[in-house]
Chains A and B, each alone.
Chain A
Amino acid sequence: LAKTTQPISMDSYEGQEVNITCSHNNIATNDYITWYQQFPSQGPRFIIQGYKTKVTNEVASLFIPADRKSSTLSLPRVSLSDTAVYYCLVEHGSSNTGKLIFGQGTTLQVKP
């Protein structure tokens, strides 16, 4: 499974757009990119998943360039409640173990 690299921490202010970039230089053809969010003292929660180009849902957008060696999670107009750890995962499309490999994640601190 591809190793991912993300910034350890980021700060933002309420109302701003936040972009968290994840590097996955060794991503394979069948790999997908998935982001999870974890609030303190809670389990991780699925945010978004994509393979290429752009994916958008009610929570976030995911931008994946053509070479797929990186991806950017975009959170529009963050609020204090978006303070959490964000994990970028690369998952093999044909894997059947269901194992998720979590790195250190990015701790996002949203300030008033």
Chain B
Amino acid sequence: EAQVTQNPRYLITVTGKKLTVTCSQNMNHEYMSWYRQDPGLGLRQIYYSMNVEVTDKGDVPEGYKVSRKEKRNFPLILESPSPNQTSLYFCASSFSSGSLYEQFFGPGTRLTVL
């Protein structure tokens, strides 16, 4: 089944404790992206990657890191999480970076930083 998977689905952590949210897709997509969704603010893009070893900042990159060492994986790293990073996170992928390509979203990771 073609899908985007994220792990963990739920995470409660404390301020400053480094964490990684994994994202993997099995569709051989070139393009991958991370969004966060907050009430009243909609979905905002954090980082995106057009291909292996190619990443760039989205609208809200502060406090996050990403890497793209393999085509299928695009982990989101929070080196020192803070409470304002409490949010619902979605990974997405598509065949290409062109905005007209359908994007496939993962199930989401709900992160709480205490």
* A interface with B by C-beta (< 8 Å): 32, 34, 41-46, 49, 91-93, 95-100, 102-105
Contact = CB atoms under 8 A, between A and B. Distances in A.
Given A43-B92, A44-B43, A105-B42, A96 B97 contact: yes
A98 B43 CA distance: 14
A52 to B, nearest CB: 14
Interface of B: 4, 31, 33, 35, 40, 42-43, 45, 48, 50, 56, 58-59, 90, 92, 94, 96-108
Nearest to A92: B99
Contact of A98 (B40, B98, B105, B107): B98
A97 B48 contact: yes
A100 B43 contact: yes
B42 A96 contact: no
A11 B28 CA distance: 39
Contacts of B104: 46
A98 B102 contact: no
B108 A97 contact: no
A103 B103 CA distance: 16
Closest 10 CB pairs of A and B: A43-B105, A91-B99, A95-B99, A102-B43, A46-B102, A98-B97, A102-B42, A43-B90, A96-B97, A99-B45
A103 B101 contact: no
A98 B90 CA distance: 15
Nearest to A34: B100
Contacts of B94: 98
